[in-house]
Structures are given as C-alpha cells and as structure tokens.
C-alpha cells in the first residue's frame, strides 16, 4: 500500500519545553491510523505541525505528503491538499445554519453573491453521506453535539478531504453516536480516504484502527500494525504510560450503610418549552459509603436531572422531594443545596467549573469562602493552607497554588474542581463525567479519590457515558433513558450489554429521533 503521509524526525520546541522530539509517523493510503498517548504526550502538537498551525520553519524535520516534501505556511495550505483537521472543540457558528457552516469561507458564490440553491443542494448531498437527516437550514445551536460532529465531517468532505484528522471525536459523544461515527470512518476508508484518529478510548481504536502509533513524552514509542498481530489494550496502555497498569480501576471493598440521600418523584420541564417533560418523576437513593452510577446516552437527561436537583440550575416547574438522612431538604437555590450538603461537579469544567484566569487557590475556596473568612474578611493564610492541603491530597501537579488554572492539564483542572467541592464539606457528591478528556494515569487517580470519598461515608453519584468506567468503579447503576430510569442493577452483576439492552428495549421504536439536548 502507498504511503500518503510520512512525518520524519519532527522536533518542536516551545520556550523551555521540548514538545516533540524526533517523532516519526507513517500513514498508509486508505487506512485508519490511531494516534494515542497520555494528555501532554504531543499528539495535538504533532497534528498542528502537520496542518500548518505551526508553519514550516518553526519545527525541524520533514513532512512528506503524497510523495513530496511539503512546507505548509498555514492551515489553508494543508487544506488545499486535502488535509483536514477536526478539533476536539468544534468550530461551528451556533447561530448559522448547517449549510452556512459547511460552506463558511468557501461560499458557493459568483462575484460575491451566494448561490443559495447550489449551497443547499450540495449540503443535502453531503449530509446524506454522513447520515444526517436534518434539513440544511437547521441552526447548529438546535443540534446535539453528536450531530454537530457529523456536520464538521460533512464540512471536511466538502473540501475534497484525502487525509482526515479527528482529535478526540467521540469525547463528548454517547455510545451510539460514537459507533455511528466510527462506522462512517470505515466507510470513508472504503472510499480511499485516510484518517488519523486521536483518541483515549481504546475499545474504539481496536475496533477501527489499522495501525496505531503510541506517543509518550513527545516521542514515538512504537507503531503497531493491527493486522499483523493481535494487540491487547494492556499493551497499548503500558506503552502510553510507560508503566505496568495492573488494573484500570482501583480495587475496593465497599462498606455500605443506610440510605443517606433520597430523591422522590422528581419531575422537571424544559426551561424554554414548558410542556416538554424532561425528567419524568424519577426516584432514586444513595446509601452511606456507596458509589451509585447513572448510565445513559447523551440527551437521556442525566445532566438535567443532576443540575435540577442542584439548586434548580436547570429547567422549570420542578416538583418532587430531596431528602438527606431521612429529612427533606431545601435545594431550591445553589446556596441552599450547598448549605444542605450537596455538591455537583460539572461535566464541563472549563465553562461551568473553573474561573480559568484565576489561580488554583482562589478556585478551591470559591464554593466555601466563609470557610476561609471571618465576618466577610478573607484570611489569606488560612486560604493558602487549605489550598496547599488539597494540592497535596489530590496530587495536583503545578508549580504552586498560585498557578492559573488555565495552564493546567485536564486531569489537574478536574482535581482543582474536585478540591473546590471537597472543601465545601458535602454529604453527597454528584460527579458528572468526572474523567472526560483525562488521560489514563489521571483517571486512575480520580477513581481513587472517588472511592476514598465513599469510604469516608459520603454518598457519591457518578454520571458517565463510559459504561466500562461505571461498571469498574460504582456499586450500583441506574440506567436512564429519555428522562426516566429504565433499569437498576448491582455493578457486579452488570455488563455493557445489559445496560445497552435496557436502553434499547425502550428506545427501539424511537431510535434515530432527536432526544432533548440541554439548552443553556
């Protein structure tokens, strides 16, 4: 098979840091090439070198594309040759339509006047290829993340893509959307389009990848051919972290006591469409020392459930009761929810969790400022002590607690958010996608923290789209679909198939229909 891309001896340094050192990458024509590595291993940097974000001259080494040495000055240079990169954070304009987004910067126009007929017919054609049924005039803001991802791919197709680069495409997708996306990649492969897939999800990689390149600390560890040999996930993980990962989930013997937290008949309506019932009279409880998981597809209503309980931060016409230790508590505002011992760690730490331009110390104390203050005056020394304690306890890697959180890696940012909520002294913690976009090593640390909290007697609720994660760390799992709980199982008796079956059994007749997305 021909080599479409070869990157040879790529070295890229930032002031004080060698981000890439002598990295080699070979992608064959028409293959799906997975690029894996822990956060900070240099995957994104390598792709930025390839796509011209870092122009020729700012790195050393050669890029051979279609047999020629290329010197890209910017993204448009590489796009011109069919190298399209789709970033983890989607670059779509929310208030423009699908069609407008697809042809943004590439408008089908003559003398500056757009030919809308052509735009729409071309868009319809592209949408068909990626399996989207929405009309081209749909606004991006009205679509779910999974479908937005597909629009990005349609956009790439409109540019005659030959090498498609996807940076964590399934990070924010649920299982079925992820599968659809992977199917699409396989289809492209059949059409001769090569792809580079950056992902943390090893099961996806083993499903679609033809070869795998592992990066660690800015260097190539090895390239594996998936067809030549059988490659175990353990081997990849071992290569990524450079150490033996005996178990991806820490072992623990739960000591489960009496029910601590109970939610009864919880009903929530959509914040804008008042007649749309988003949460349909849900009942659940958490026992002392127990980790409860909530599984479900994107749009099942898990985040909506959590946020509506946490100070009515979502929805309207909310009814139902929440009780702690058998006593009904008032959770009508965030202040009251926090005061009554609730904490909610958001799934979107950058937008909802952290004040990014502030430092670690200030972020940790934010939810419990009275805890470091007397009569409204902050005791800086106490605040510093608290911050340093959590920094040590949760192993937050930083130069000091004065470091701005924007400069931290995803895992360390998550630890700061966790610290903030631990310092608020909660009885019950709701963790929404606590390990999203976090590398394997940091995930393990987060799992340990979660288990430690449960062992201290707190009630812990974990919402996750990764079923294996829920099965690995929780004690009991609720399965949620379309605003209600459709199954409950002990984690020890559960399996991914069992969870999926519970969801599909109900969703069969409605599959493909768009479920309610969160509107903020």
Partner 1 sequence: MSLDHKAAKPAKSPKMSLGFLKSNLRDYAMLLALVVIMLFFQVVTNGVLLQPLNLTNLVLQNSYIIIMALGMLLVIVAGHIDLSVGSVVGFVGAMAAVMIVDYKIDTTVTVLVCLAIGGLIGAAQGYFVAFFKIPSFIVTLAGMLVFKGLSLYFLNGRSVGPFPSAFQHMSNGFIPDFLSGTLPASAELNLASLVIGTLTALALVYTNVVQRRQHQKHAYENEPLLVFYVKNILIVLSIVYLSFLMASYRGLPNVLVIMAVLITFYTFVTTRTTIGRRIYALGGNEKAARLSGIRTERLTFYTFVNMGVLAGLAGMIFAARLNTATPKAGAGFELDVIAACFIGGASASGGVGKVIGAVIGAFVMGVMNNGMSILGIGIDLQQVIKGLVLLAAVFFDVYNKAKA
Give me the residues that bind partner 1 (CB under 8 A), please: 310-311, 313, 333-335, 337-339, 344, 346, 351-358, 362, 365-367, 369-370, 373, 376-378, 380-381, 384-385, 399-400, 402-403, 420, 424, 520
Beta strands in 289-404 (DSSP E): 291-296, 316-324, 327-328, 342-345, 373-374, 377-378
Q: Helix 380-393 to helix 410-423 angle, to the nearest 10 degrees?
A: 120
* CB 395, CB 415: distance < 8 Å: yes
Residue closer to partner 1, measured from CB, 399 or 513: 399
β-partners of residue 60 are: 11
- State the minimum distance, in angstroms, from the CB of residue 364 to partner 1: 11
| Alpha carbon distances (Å) from 457 to 254, 258, 286, 291 | 10, 10, 11, 10
The Cα 178–Cα 230 span in angstroms is: 23
- State the minimum distance, in angstroms, from the CB of residue 373 to partner 1: 5
Phi, then psi, of 331 in degrees rounded to 5: -125, 30
- State the minimum distance, in angstroms, from the CB of residue 397 to partner 1: 13
Helices marked H in 113-232: 116-130, 145-158, 175-190, 202-208
Residue closer to partner 1, measured from CB, 335 or 513: 335
Q: Which two tokens stand for residue 479?
A: 């399965």
Residue closer to partner 1, measured from CB, 190 or 377: 377
The Cα 350–Cα 441 span in angstroms is: 20
- State the minimum distance, in angstroms, from the CB of residue 20 to partner 1: 22
What number of other Cβ atoms are within 10 A of residue 304's Cβ?
A: 24
The Cα 64–Cα 62 span in angstroms is: 6
- State the minimum distance, in angstroms, from the CB of residue 424 to partner 1: 8
Residue closer to partner 1, measured from CB, 322 or 477: 322
Residue closer to partner 1, measured from CB, 302 or 420: 420
Residue closer to partner 1, measured from CB, 243 or 375: 375
Residue closer to partner 1, measured from CB, 123 or 412: 412
The Cα 57–Cα 35 span in angstroms is: 24
The Cα 443–Cα 469 span in angstroms is: 10
- State the minimum distance, in angstroms, from the CB of residue 311 to partner 1: 8
The Cα 412–Cα 414 span in angstroms is: 5
- State the minimum distance, in angstroms, from the CB of residue 431 to partner 1: 14
- State the minimum distance, in angstroms, from the CB of residue 74 to partner 1: 18
- State the minimum distance, in angstroms, from the CB of residue 394 to partner 1: 18
End-to-end alpha carbon distance in the chain: 48
* CB 516, CB 270: distance < 8 Å: yes
């Amino acid at each position: 098979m021909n080599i479409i891309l070869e990157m040879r001896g790529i070295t890229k340094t930032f002031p004080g840091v060698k981000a890439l050192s002598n990295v080699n990458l070979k992608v064959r024509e028409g293959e799906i090439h997975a690029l894996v590595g822990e956060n900070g291993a240099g995957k994104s940097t390598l792709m930025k070198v390839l796509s011209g974000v870092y122009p020729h001259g700012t790195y050393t080494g050669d890029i051979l594309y279609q047999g020629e040495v290329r010197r890209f000055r910017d993204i448009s240079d590489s796009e011109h040759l069919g190298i399209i990169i789709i970033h983890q954070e989607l670059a779509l304009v929310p208030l423009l339509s699908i069609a407008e987004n697809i042809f943004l910067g590439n408008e089908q126009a003559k003398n500056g006047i757009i030919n809308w007929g052509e735009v729409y017919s071309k868009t319809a054609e592209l949408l068909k290829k990626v399996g989207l049924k929405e009309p081209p005039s749909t606004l991006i803001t009205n679509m779910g993340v999974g479908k937005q991802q597909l629009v990005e791919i349609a956009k790439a197709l409109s540019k005659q893509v030959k090498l498609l680069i996807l940076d964590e495409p399934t990070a924010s997708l649920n299982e079925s959307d992820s599968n659809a996306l992977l199917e699409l990649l396989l289809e492209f492969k059949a059409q001769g389009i090569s792809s580079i897939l950056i992902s943390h999800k090893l099961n996806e990689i083993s499903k679609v990848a033809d070869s795998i390149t592992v990066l660690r600390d800015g260097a190539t560890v090895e390239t594996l051919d998936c067809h030549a040999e059988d490659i175990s996930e353990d081997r990849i993980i071992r290569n990524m972290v450079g150490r033996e990962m005996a178990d991806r989930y820490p072992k623990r013997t739960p000591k489960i006591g009496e029910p601590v937290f109970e939610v009864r008949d919880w009903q929530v309506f959509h914040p804008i469409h008042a007649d749309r019932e988003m949460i349909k009279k849900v009942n659940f409880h958490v026992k002392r020392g127990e980790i409860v998981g909530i599984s479900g597809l994107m749009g099942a209503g898990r985040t909506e459930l959590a946020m509506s309980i946490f100070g009515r931060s979502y929805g309207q016409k909310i009814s139902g009761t929440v009780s702690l230790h058998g006593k009904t508590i008032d959770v009508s505002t965030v202040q009251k929810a926090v005061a009554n011992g609730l904490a909610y760690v958001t799934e979107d730490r950058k937008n909802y969790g952290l004040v990014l331009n502030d430092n670690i110390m200030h972020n940790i104390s934010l939810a419990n400022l009275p805890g470091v203050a007397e009569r409204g005056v902050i005791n800086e020394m106490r605040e510093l002590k608290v911050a340093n304690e959590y920094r040590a306890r949760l192993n937050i890697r930083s130069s000091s607690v004065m470091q701005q959180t924007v400069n931290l890696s995803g895992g360390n940012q998550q630890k700061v958010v966790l610290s903030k909520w631990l310092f608020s002294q909660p009885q019950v913690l709701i963790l929404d996608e606590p390990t999203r976009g976090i590398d394997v090593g940091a995930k393990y640390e987060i799992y340990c923290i979660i288990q430690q909290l449960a062992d201290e007697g707190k009630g812990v609720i974990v919402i996750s789209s990764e079923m294996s994660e829920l099965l690995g760390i929780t004690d009991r799992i609720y399965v949620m679909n379309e605003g209600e709980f459709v199954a409950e199982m002990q984690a020890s008796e559960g399996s991914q198939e069992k969870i999926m079956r519970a969801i599909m059994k109900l969703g069969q007749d409605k599959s493909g229909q768009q479920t309610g997305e969160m509107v903020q």
